[in-house]
Every structure is written in C-alpha cells, then in structure tokens.
C-alpha cells in the first residue's frame, strides 16, 4: 500500500517559486494591490480565416470566457457566488440528471424583490420624518439601497474572465530571469464586468491600438479598502517601442507557448469558486434555506391574514456598512408589529436593473472591479 506521505506530498522543486505561489494564494486569480503599478500584456492567438471573397485573413483572438454570476450574502455576512445554471443540462454517466436546465436562483428573484418592496413599505409606514421633506426622501433612498444590497438573490451579473500576462517587477523595473534572459511573468485570469472591459478596450482603442498584444499599466491608488483600490486604477497604454514584447523578441514566443497550453478547466479551484457550479438540487437547497422565513410567512398567510414576516424586524438598526457601504439607515421609529401593507409600492420590477445609481459602493459596483466583495481578496 502506498504510504500517505507518498500519495499526498507535493514536491517542492523551486523554493522561490513555491514561496511566491504560496504568497499569492497559489491562485491564477489576478489581484489588485494597493499603491502598486502592474504591467500587463494581453496575449492572443492568430488564426487564418477566409473573408467573404475567399481571401485569407488573419484574425486575432483573446482567451476569455464569460459567465452570468448570481451573487448573494448569507445572514452571517459572507459573500457567495455561482454561475447561473439556466439552460444548462448536465447528466452524470449513469444518466442521473445533475442540472435540469432550471436555475433556482433565477426563480427566486421575484421573491427577493417582493421582500425589498415590503421592507420599503414598512420603512415608509414607520418613518416619522415629515412627509414630502428632503430628509424623508434621503432617508428612503438610503433605506432602499440598503435593502437592495441585502437582497437574498438577484439577477446574475455578467463577468468576463480574461487571460493576461502579469510581468514581475521591482518597482517599475521588470525582473529578468537569469537563465533565459527574458522578463519573468505569471499567467493570471482577470475577472471584470462588461463595463470594466469596455473601459479597458476604449483606453486601448483611443490610443490607436488593439487589445490583442497590447501592454498596459494599471496604477492602483493607496487604500486599505480593496474595493477602492480595484475600483479606481489609472490605466495607460505602453508605447509600442517601450513594450517588453518589443524589447525582448523571444518573449512573445515563450508567452505564446504558455498561452496555447492554458485552458479554463479547474478555474473554480484557482480563486473563482463560482465556476464550481451547483447541481439543481444543491442550488434549490441554498435558495430554500435563504428564503425559509419568507416561505413560512407565505404559507402562514394563506390561513392567517395577520401573518407577519419578521425576518428583518430587529431591535437594532439592520445595516451592514462594512459590506454594503451604503449609509446606515437609522431606525426612526421602534418597529411596530403590523400586518404587511397590501398596497406595497413597487420600487422596481424584477426586470429593473439591480443597481441603484448610488455614489457609494454597493453590491453592484463593488463587483465592478477586478475582484468581488468576498473575503478572499487579499493584498
Ligand atoms: Zn440563474
């Protein structure tokens, strides 16, 4: 029998590489760093295709995947995410259905909005600020933002996962490998919203270049808040003559070889747990647990018109500024126990954008970074 140590050990060949990987969380996930400047190259492959006249043309393409991701926060304040499984059908080898094409998260979005609307109605009912006043409007806007940030489930957000090359630098100087004489680099996967991708693309195109093969500098501001760091990098395009891929002719060849070997398989174990996916059954268990009190309330309502939904009725103001970044919503009146108003004003329909246009960080624009508000982001 093989010994446990033989079976489980990982051989450490290069101690420097080993320690560096450890420090990076051994992850391919690209992470922003406070006060640092990152030098990034966008690798691509070239293929020859025929245009409509049958003439061969060279097409450059990136290595990138896209996923619609559901994000939610459990009552313990932890951030979670999973790729939307709508229309995904997966069967195990013996024919057991793992994913049946439905998405329990999508199916709960309207319940989540019902809860938001009910909380807004309740807040309006109990708030003692003068009707029609600016204070009331401000207060209600803040309350709505908080309630939306705390939504149990929301429309999936589109994220792009782009393979990039991050050069290792000492300050702004590239580190050179003594053996190959080439700049040292790591392959990283940059996660970003469509908006962020468009921003990068327009920066590159405005400089008269194209994204494929471009070298970019991401300068991050100094902040203890990783969301601030990731949200406001200054992005600039490196002049073609100054690019490392121009200065070191063999560099691109080496990168291309790594690029061709790379695939996105196993991404869930590389810092992107949302790609682990969930079976329909697992997802249903999660959403049922998130909505357990709501479901109990709905059930009770059928036999008792005075049924109450008490999940958010707490003695202390229910706000979570560390996560939502939204202003705290003061509880102006002691929560009175009342039957929920039937004529709840509708804040938004499930089709409406989940993101309020708030200047503060909220669950939506926190995600508009290279990272997400999960605790795994570390400098
Ligand atoms: Zn879904």
Among 109, 113, 122, smallest CA distance to 148 is for 113
User: How far is the centre of ligand 1, averaged over its atoms, from the C-alpha of 85 (Å)?
Assistant: 6
At 250-301, the pLDDT tens digits run 999 999 999 999 999 889 888 899 999 899 999 999 999 999 999 999 999 9
Rounded Cα gap, residues 226 and 215, in angstroms: 24
CA of 86 to the centre of ligand 1 (A): 5
Q: Quote the ligand 1 centre to 68 CA distance (angstroms).
A: 8
Which two structure tokens, joined as six digits, stand for 81?
A: 């995410």
Query: Which candidate, 375, 367, 263, 322, places its Cα nearest to that of 25?
Result: 375
Report the separation in Å between the CA atom of 106 and the middle of ligand 1, taken as the mean of its atom positions: 4
Q: Note the pLDDT of residue 344.
A: 36
Is residue 27 scored above 90 in pLDDT?
Answer: no
How far is it, in rounded angstroms, from Cα 258 to Cα 247?
19
Predicted TM-score of the model (pTM): 0.72
pLDDT of 128 above 80: yes
| Cα-to-centroid distance, 326 and ligand 1 (Å) | 26
367 CA from centroid of ligand 1 (Å): 17
| CA of residue 376 to ligand 1 center, whole Å | 23
Residue 246 in this model has a pLDDT that exceeds 60: yes
pLDDT at 242: 94
Q: What span, in angstroms and rounded, lies between the C-alpha atoms of 89 and 101?
A: 5
According to the model, what pLDDT value does residue 377 have? 29
Q: Confidence band (pLDDT; 50, 70, 90) for 379?
A: very low
Q: Looking at 9-13, 28-32, 141-145, 251-255, which range is the least confident one?
A: 9-13
% pLDDT > 70, the chain: 76
What pLDDT was estimated at residue 346? 38
- How confident is the prediction for the chain on average, in pLDDT? 80
Distance 23 CA to ligand 1 centre (A): 34
Q: What is the pLDDT of residue 89?
A: 94
Alpha carbon of 271 to ligand 1 centroid (Å): 21
In this structure, how many other beta carbons lie within 10 angstroms of the beta carbon of residue 99? Answer: 20
Quick one: what percent of the chain has pLDDT higher than 90?
A: 59
| Segment 307-338, tens digit of pLDDT | 888 888 765 444 444 444 444 443 333 333 33
What is the predicted pLDDT for the residue at 318? 45
Distance from the CA of 144 to the center of ligand 1, in angstroms?
A: 23
Q: Please tell me the distance between residue 154's alpha carbon and the centre of ligand 1 in angstroms.
A: 9
Q: What is the mean pLDDT of residues 144-162?
A: 91
Looking at per-residue pLDDT, the higher value among 155 and 374 belongs to: 155
Tracing tokens 């061709």 back to the chain, one arrives at 260
How many A from CA of 103 to the centre of ligand 1?
5
pLDDT for the residue numbered 214: 96
Which residue has better confidence, 20 or 96?
96
pLDDT at 374: 38
Whether 226 and 34 have beta carbons less than 8 Å apart is answered as yes
pLDDT (mean) for 215-227: 92
pLDDT band for position 15 (50/70/90)? low
What pLDDT is attached to residue 226? 85
Residue 365 alpha carbon to ligand 1 centre in Å:
20
Query: Averaged over 52-57, what is the pLDDT?
Result: 92
Sorted by sequence, the CB contacts under 8 Å of residue 31 that are 6+ apart come out as: 24, 370, 371, 377, 378, 379
């Amino acid at each position: 029998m093989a010994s446990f140590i033989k079976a489980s050990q990982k051989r450490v060949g290069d101690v420097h590489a080993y320690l560096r990987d450890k420090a990076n969380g051994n992850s391919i996930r690209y992470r922003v760093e406070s006060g640092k400047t990152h030098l990034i190259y966008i690798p691509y492959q070239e293929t020859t295709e025929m245009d409509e006249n049958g003439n061969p043309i060279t097409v450059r393409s990136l290595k990138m995947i896209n996923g619609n991701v559901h994000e939610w926060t459990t009552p313990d304040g932890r951030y979670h995410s999973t790729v939307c499984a709508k229309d995904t059908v997966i069967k195990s080898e013996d024919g057991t259905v793992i994913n049946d094409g439905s998405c329990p998260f999508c199916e709960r979005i309207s319940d989540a909005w019902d809860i938001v609307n009910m909380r807004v109605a309740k807040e309006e009912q109990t708030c003692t600020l003068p009707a029609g006043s600016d204070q009331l409007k401000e207060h209600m806007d803040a309350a709505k933002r908080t309630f939306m940030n705390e939504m149990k489930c929301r429309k999936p957000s589109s994220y792009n996962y782009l393979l990039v090359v991050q050069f290792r630098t000492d300050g702004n100087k590239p580190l050179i490998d003594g053996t190959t004489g080439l700049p040292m680099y790591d392959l990283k996967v940059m996660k970003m919203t469509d908006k962020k991708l468009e921003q990068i693309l327009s920066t590159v195109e405005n400089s008269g270049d194209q994204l494929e093969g471009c070298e970019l500098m991401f300068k991050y501001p100094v902040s203890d808040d990783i969301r601030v760091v990731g949200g406001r990098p200054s992005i600039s395009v490196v002049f073609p003559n100054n690019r490392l891929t121009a200065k070191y002719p063999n560099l691109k060849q080496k990168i291309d070889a790594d690029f061709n070997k790379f695939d996105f398989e196993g991404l869930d174990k590389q810092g992107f747990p949302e790609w682990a996916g969930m079976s329909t059954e697992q997802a249903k268990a999660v959403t049922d647990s998130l909505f357990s009190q709501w479901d109990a309330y709905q059930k009770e309502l059928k036999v008792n018109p005075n049924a109450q939904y008490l999940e958010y009725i707490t003695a202390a103001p229910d706000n979570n500024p560390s996560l939502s970044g939204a202003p705290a919503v003061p509880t102006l009146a002691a929560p009175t126990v009342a039957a929920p108003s039937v004529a709840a004003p509708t804040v938004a329909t499930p089709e409406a954008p989940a993101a309020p246009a708030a200047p503060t960080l909220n669950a939506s624009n926190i995600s508009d970074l290279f990272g997400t508000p999960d605790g795994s982001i570390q400098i």
